[in-house]
Every structure is written in C-alpha cells, then in structure tokens.
A and B are shown apart, each in its own frame.
Chain A
Amino acid sequence: MITVYWVYPDGSEHKASVEEGVNLMEAAMANDIESIYGECGGSMACATCHVEVDESCGIKAGEPFAMENEMLDMVESGRTPTSRLSCQLVASPELDGIRLKVAW
C-alpha cells in the first residue's frame, strides 16, 4: 500500500491508500475523486484522467510516454510541465506520498 494525495483547486485534499500495481486513474475512480473520469479505461485515448504532479512533495513521476505526450497537448484544462495521464502512473514504492493536483 502507498499513500496518494489528490489536491483540488481550492487547496483541499483527499488522501487514500492505494495497492501497489493499481494505476492512479483507477485509484481515483475508487475514491470518487471529482473531475477524474477515466473514460477510455486507461488507454491514453481520452485524457479525462489528467493530473499535475505537485513536485513540491519531493516525488517525480517521470516523463510521459510518446502517445501520452500527444494527448497531453490536447487537455482542456491546459498542460503544465508536470502534467501526466494518471492512468499511466502505477502505484509503486517510489510514488509513495505523491501529490496529484486535479485539473479542473
């Protein structure tokens, strides 16, 4: 289990324990995180799982995959340097404590 924080635009946050191996879009769905829909089911085809990694927490999620990159250019909420599709982030010990800003 790792801990993941989702941070809403108003600064409020939702904390949850996530089993290793589960992707963070699925985890968001399981925790009813608002404005994450995971419409395509995790295939980098919808971008409705877009998050911004808050690197001030000291954790980096790495670079997006090539296909993810194309999708991120199209996100409605606007891409940022740490934008990722959360369906491509898989819970692992390295991500323990990660903070994800939910794009609105």
Chain B
Amino acid sequence: MTADLQTCPFSTGSLGARFRPYEQEGMFAFFKEARAQQPVFYNQELDCWVVTKKADIQAIFRDPDRFSASNSQSPVNAYSADVHEILVDGEFTREPTQANTDRPKHTRIRNIAGQFLNQKRFARYEDQIRELTRQQIATLPPTGTVDLVEALTYELPAKVLFLLVGVPQEESYRVKRWSDNTFNMIWGKPTEDDTIAGARGLVEYYDFCKSVVNDRLESGVEGDDYVSHLLRARNGDDAILTMNEIYSLVHGVLAAGHETTSNGSANLLWALLSDREQWDKLVADRSLIANAVEEGLRYMTPFITWRRMTLTDVEIGGVAIPAGATILMSLVSANHDEDSFEGPLAFDVERKNARQHLAFGNGIHFCMGAPLARMEMKILLEELTQRYPNMRLVEKDNIEWPLNMGFRGPVKLLVELGE
C-alpha cells in the first residue's frame, strides 16, 4: 500500500483525488488506507474535508459550537434555477427543524419531538410491529427465490412508521417512492432531467405532508399519533411550533424514519447471509440477535457519510481547516477504525463492543429513532431466522448498490428461502 502511494505523482493529494464518494465498490479498502496514511484529506469533487477516524468524528459531533449541522441535508449537487422555480412555485417551504438545524431552534424542537420520539413510547408499539412483520413475512412463498428488498425490507419500515405518525398503510408505497426521490435529490447524482422530475416529486411529497397535518387539525388532535402530539404541543402558539415547522417535521420523519431502517435491514441481512456461519449462529441462539443488529449497523453503516460545516477555523487530526468549510464525516470509516474495533473488517455477531458505532451519529443530534430502528431490525431477524432458518443468498457478489454518497443499501437481495 505504502509503495503504491509513493509511486503516485501527487503523493499528498492522492487520496483526495482517488476518493469516489458515490461508489460503494472498494470503499472499505480505500478508507483503511486513508485511516493509515492520511486520516483527514481534502476532496475537490465535493469541495470538502473528509474525516475518517472515529475519535475525530465523535469530537466533531460533540462540538456544536464549532461545527454547524446546517449543511447536513443540503443537496450535494446544487439545484439549477429551473429546479428552484418548481420548488418556489410549488410552495415547497420545507424548513430545517432537526438534523440540519442549530441551537437554539434545534433544542426547542427536539424537546417537543422527544416527548414522542423516545424509547418509552416506541416500546408500546412492540406487539404491533411484530404483527406487521409477521404479516409481511406471511406474504412470502414457502420456498423458492425472492428479492428480500422488494418483498420485505422496502415497505415494512414505512408501515411501522405510519403506525406512529398516523398515516393510512395504503400510502406506504407512494411515500417510499417520494422519499427515494428525496434521498436521491440530496445525496445522489441525478441528471438535470431527473432533478426536474424530482423537484415535482418533492412538491407532491410536501403537499402530502401538509394535508396529513391539516386533516388531523380538522378531525381532532386527541389521537395517540405523532402528528396529534405535535399539534397538541403547539396548541395554536407559533412561539412553540409553527405550522410550517410541523409540516417539515412530518416530512422529515416520514423520510428519515424508514429509508434508513430499510437500508439497515437489507444491509444486515446481506452481511449475515454472506457469511452463513454468522446466520447459523443466530438460528441456533436468538439471544445473539440484538448484538447482531449492532454489528450490522457498525459493519454496514446505512448512512455512510454525514456532514457538518465549520463555524471557525479548526484543526482536525493536525490538519488546519478554514471557517465555512464542509466536513464530510465517513461514518463507515469511523465504524471500521482499528483504534476502536479489533479486526474491524470482519463481521462478527459476537463482537463485544459492536454497539460503540457511530451509525446513529452522536451528541445533540443523536438519532431520535435509534431505539425504534433497533427494535424493528431485531424483530425482523427473530421472525426470519425462525421462519426460514435455511435461507441462502442466491449470489453473494455482484450486488447492486445505489450511486449515492450518503446512504447505502442493496438495491436487490435475491435469496433462496430454503426449507
């Protein structure tokens, strides 16, 4: 590896020039090299500083005074004037409320959202989530080949989320399409034609969120769902929450709350089935499942990168970075850091400190849905290992991953159900 670097004509700039942020192929090896050779480097394509060590990334997450989250969900490829026009005409007034908001607004809103999005509340849904999971699994044939993404992991987390938010289950497919589009518009590499169509999708999606909130306001806010909770907390007072903030919160959770879990579930299944011994361990001993979920999140981190912006001149890992710069934290690299995890490139469901990953971020923005995502993935594995203990991957390699610098999950996961 070292020899390679030394023969490279741009010896210090080389990592930055070789970084392929959208491609999943070769990513693990690339970051391994970066952690060893140049753990903080500049990438021109995205005009950002890439940070790869866990300790550095954790320190950034815990330092909101110097690192703003305001850019964390900005489109990586800026929208054209035409796209802006569609968004303005369509009254796409989504505003930052959570992940991409700084204090004090962030604190005000997180305190309200956290009264609903918390472990205690999620625990109440456990039986219903198990029931939904069983129903979805019951739609699979007894044997034969299926695509687990299409048949299972794509829609199930959306159905779970709809239960909490209070949206009819029939809408899940439409919402999945819209949020795919949202994610592609932010972290993908769409063509101009795609972004024009995509912008219309954003408008439709936001209109849908507005209608969910407005319908609830009309029909009564006594319900046990997230939208009713937000409207009750607001109680007509803009100083607490504005209506546009509520639309934005619903929009946020309707995308963040399932796309990630869909990817996380499919990644986990891929990792487990790629190494049958690991899957067999879970079949033999269900008490390993909770830790397997953590190891899946660590090894196959669903959000591979997350962003921050420097508010002052800073130094990270000895590298000086000016104010106003984009920091790209490679969460997958943090989770593969040799200084934090032993033999990090092995997938091991019995790893002792698997849970110390940064897949859910850290600090004041730490994922509010983490307990829910964990529960959903655990239930899925409990049910699947029981129903299809002999399931096998049809093809271990040649998996298609999305062309995306933010998130990752197999596009398809063909398995032989066994029996």
Contact B123 A74 (CB under 8 A): yes
Q: How far is the CA of A88 from the CA of B183 in the complex (A)?
A: 34
Q: A45-B114, A45-B366 are in contact. List 12 more A-B contacts (CB 8 A).
A: A40-B362, A41-B58, A41-B361, A41-B364, A43-B110, A43-B366, A45-B118, A45-B368, A45-B370, A70-B114, A70-B115, A71-B119
Query: In whole angstroms, what is the CA distance A70 to B368 when docked?
Result: 13
**Assuming A45-B366, A45-B368, A66-B115, is B355 touching A39 (CB within 8 A)?**
yes
Q: Which residues of B contact A63 (CB under 8 A)?
A: none
- Give the distance in Å from the alpha carbon of A71 to the alpha carbon of B62 in the complex: 20
- Complex Cα spacing A37 to B123, Å: 22
Determine whether A42 belongs to the interface, using a CB cutoff of 8 Å to chain B. Answer: yes
Q: Chain A: which residue is nearest B367 at the CB level?
A: A45
Number of B residues whose C-beta is below 8 Å from A?
24
Are A43 and B120 in contact, with the CB atoms below 8 A?
no
Q: In the assembled complex, which residues on chain A have CB atoms less than 8 Å from the CB atom of B115?
A: 66-67, 70
Report if B356 contacts A (CB, 8 A): yes
Q: Are A71 and B364 in touch, CB under 8 angstroms?
A: no
Shortest C-beta distance, B156 to chain A (Å), equals: 23
Contacts of A66 in B (CB 8 A): 111, 115
Instruction: State the Cβ distance, B45 to closest chain A Cβ, in Å.
Output: 30
Main secondary structure of the interface of A (DSSP, over half): loop
Chain B residues positioned under 8 Å from A67 (CB to CB): 110-111, 114-115, 118
Chain A: residues with Cβ within 8 Å of the partner, total of: 17
Q: How far is the CA of A65 from the CA of B115 in the complex (A)?
A: 11
Q: Are B363 and A41 in contact (CB under 8 A)?
A: yes
Can you report 18 residue pairs joining A to B where beta carbons are below 8 Å apart? Answer: A39-B355, A39-B356, A40-B360, A40-B370, A41-B58, A41-B363, A41-B364, A42-B62, A43-B363, A45-B368, A46-B366, A66-B111, A67-B110, A67-B118, A70-B120, A71-B120, A74-B119, A74-B120
Q: Which of A68-87 contact B (CB under 8 A)?
A: 70-71, 73-74
Q: Does A44 contact B (CB under 8 A)?
A: yes
Q: Which residue in B121, B123, B355, B364 is a CB contact (below 8 Å) of A43?
A: B364
